[in-house]
Amino acid sequence: MLVKLVPGNSAGTVTAYYVSSTGDRHDEIDFEFLGNVSGQPYIIHTNVFVQGNGSREQQFYPWFDPTADYHNYTIHWNPAAIVWYVDSVPIRVYRNYESQGVPFPNKQGMTVYSSLWNADNWATRGGLEKIDWNSAPFVAKYRDFRARACRWNGPSSINQCAVNSPAN
């Protein structure tokens, strides 16, 4: 997905692009962009939820201004690993170590979502910076979404989606 983030004072906002299943025990893989006070850097926040439990966050500062132009944010998820890419550069790898007791999101199909929401209780400087509603509207731009996915048909999909085939 190509995303251009909210320019100016976006403190307290989170722009998100993620995949998620539904329910209390959902799986989720996140790209979240934590808004900033003008002149300060955005934070790229990644997370993995498995069976409703997150707490696998990692954060990164971009090496560019994500409000000046569109940048390509990719979530590559397969049975072996999850890789987050920014402009084709891998920034994080979460490997499947399920055989060693580390949970991995591979039991549920997921849908793609995007959102822009109020998270001023935690997003910018741990909640110290609140949303300035005088700066609204907050507009992020998305374009050129391209899904390359294995269709989820229930638990049998875990093995089907792992097969090395042209469809995958």
**Which residues are designated catalytic?**
28, 32
* CB-based burial, 59-69: b 16+ in 10 Å, e otherwise: eeebeeebbee
Q: What is the DSSP string of 97-144?
A: -GGGT---S-SS--EEEEEEEE-TTTTTGGGTSPP-GGGPPP--EEE-
Joined tokens for residue 51: 């069976």
Cβ(31)–Cβ(94) below 8 Å: no
* DSSP state letter for 125: G
